[in-house]
């Protein structure tokens, strides 16, 4: 079975009634946890993105606290990948490039402040460098004023 295009789906949804739309949304939310989380964001969190960003930062802080860097850098790498996946998911939900830059900057700064030896593990170093490059790319596409605001923070990352 081939999935319909977004345009066709949108056209079909416009023809449905309110009750049918609600039923479809609830069914989507039951089907997959990501759909439920996205609907939660759209319904309850999207009106105040700054508060949502602060919540994500607190969640990132908690995840960084749980990282075990003393025993083995392998587990630290896995924990960092988990934090990045969570951050990327929330960035997709928001669809805001400025918020994505802010969260990725926070991730990189937290990684540096945690004291994880980037020079000892190539995977972690590459992960860090990819995020810095991603931030640079996102910032370069922003308005000049925003570019100037983020330039100093980018320079501190290296």
pLDDT tens for the chain, 158 residues: list them: 888 898 998 999 899 999 999 999 899 889 889 989 999 999 999 999 999 999 999 999 999 998 877 767 888 899 999 999 999 999 999 999 999 999 999 999 999 888 888 888 899 999 999 999 999 999 999 888 888 888 888 888 87
Q: Is residue 37 part of a domain?
A: no
Q: Is residue 28 part of a domain?
A: no
Q: Is residue 27 part of a domain?
A: no
Q: Is residue 1 part of a domain?
A: no
Query: 105-125 as b/e, with b when 16 or more CB fall inside 10 Å?
Result: bbbbebbeeeebebeebeebe
Q: Is residue 19 part of a domain?
A: no
Q: Is residue 130 part of a domain?
A: yes
Q: Is residue 120 part of a domain?
A: yes
Q: Is residue 42 part of a domain?
A: no
Number of domains in the chain: 1
The predicted pLDDT at position 99 comes to 94
Domain that holds residue 127: 48-157
Tokens coding 148: 């100037």
The predicted pLDDT at position 116 comes to 82
């Amino acid at each position: 079975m081939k999935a319909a295009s977004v345009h066709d789906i949108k056209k079909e949804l416009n023809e449905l009634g309110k009750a049918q739309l609600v039923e479809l949304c609830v069914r989507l939310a039951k089907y997959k946890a990501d759909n439920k989380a996205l609907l939660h964001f759209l319904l309850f969190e999207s009106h105040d993105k700054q508060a949502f960003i602060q919540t994500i930062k607190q969640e990132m802080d908690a995840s960084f606290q749980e990282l075990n860097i003393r025993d083995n850098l392998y587990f630290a790498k896995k924990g960092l990948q988990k934090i990045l996946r969570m951050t990327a998911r929330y960035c997709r939900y928001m669809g805001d490039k400025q918020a994505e830059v802010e969260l990725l900057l926070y991730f990189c700064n937290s990684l540096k402040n945690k004291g994880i030896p980037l020079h000892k593990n190539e995977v972690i170093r590459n992960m860090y460098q990819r995020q810095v490059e991603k931030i640079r790319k996102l910032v370069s596409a922003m308005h000049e004023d925003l570019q100037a605001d983020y330039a100093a923070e980018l320079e501190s990352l290296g």
